[in-house]
Chains A and B, each alone.
Chain A
């Protein structure tokens, strides 16, 4: 059931790196692994900045077509110096209409809780994820972990729920929360295969990429 969306550096060098899938984890030392978010998970949306949080280098955006939609963005990467480049984070302000190139949550690991799975999750978080199709790029996406007991599985929507002991805010742990959390939609094939094996009562370790904006352009 263990699934990890990852490729090894050796595969990358060998030019066969574009096939991610269900592979046994813990095969390769963490230092030799690279994690990628597939470009198919990329989105382009126009929205209005609702709020900024410089401390965590994030902002919340409201999409024009979907109504109020909170997008938590972290590790914002903004290119500068070219005609097609976006604006720097410091130039962004609430109320601005912006075009955002961003990636949604992507599942990287859904595994039964075990010391090995927790170790794998810690390694993944430390390394971060790169963007598929950009060889040699630095890891630009933070990976975050959420572990707990499965309370409900919703295969039709590719989702499941867990009791999370840190309050549902990865950046703001609150011990002893006991809150039931709906995890993001599972999008990878390997993740869906893992989802199919889940049942209420299972203790799981999960790792996801953070919703990440790569480029933000101020329209007005």
Chain B
């Protein structure tokens, strides 16, 4: 019993001694893409597509709608929409496909109330892969559009 008390006392002393570590390990709040202050950090979303498709699933349409809602809460924000493709097909085809995907997402953002002038689109084709793959690889995770809300 006495031994337990000594252990407890030593533990308490150790806890007290940690006071000098003030400020250590200051992790920011669980933030969205970046800075410690989540109110100022960019907010990012990703939506995905079937092979060769520019059609969004219901879930991904919900994601775009959510992005639009977040945009509306941030004065002077802008949105960068970038389309990507996997490595199936020719680079030129994938460039066009990724641009079409970005355009689809932009259109849906506009339908959800985001001014078109606040949105920029870009196409990355089969470069900027999320998952590194060989040419002509069917990789769903690479067929995507990123939506970044900059504040």
Contact = CB atoms under 8 A, between A and B. Distances in A.
Interface of A: 39-45, 65-66, 68-72, 104-105, 133-135, 149, 151, 161, 163, 167-168, 170, 174, 176-185, 187, 199-201
Contacts of B63: 176-179
Given A42-B18, A105-B30, A182-B41, 6 more contacts: A39-B14, A43-B25, A70-B38, A72-B29, A179-B32, A200-B131
A187 B26 CA distance: 11
A43 B26 contact: yes
B66 A179 contact: yes
Interface of B: 4, 7-8, 10-11, 14-15, 18-19, 21-34, 36-38, 41, 43-47, 59-60, 62-63, 66, 130-132, 139, 141, 146
Contacts, number: 118
Contact of A168 (B22, B32, B37, B141): B32
B43 A179 contact: yes
B58 to A, nearest CB: 8
Contact of A200 (B11, B59, B130): B130
A43 B22 contact: yes
Contacts of B4: 135
22 contacts: A41-B25, A42-B15, A44-B22, A133-B14, A134-B15, A135-B7, A176-B66, A178-B59, A178-B60, A179-B63, A179-B66, A180-B43, A180-B146, A181-B30, A181-B33, A184-B28, A187-B25, A199-B132, A200-B130, A200-B131, A201-B130, A201-B131
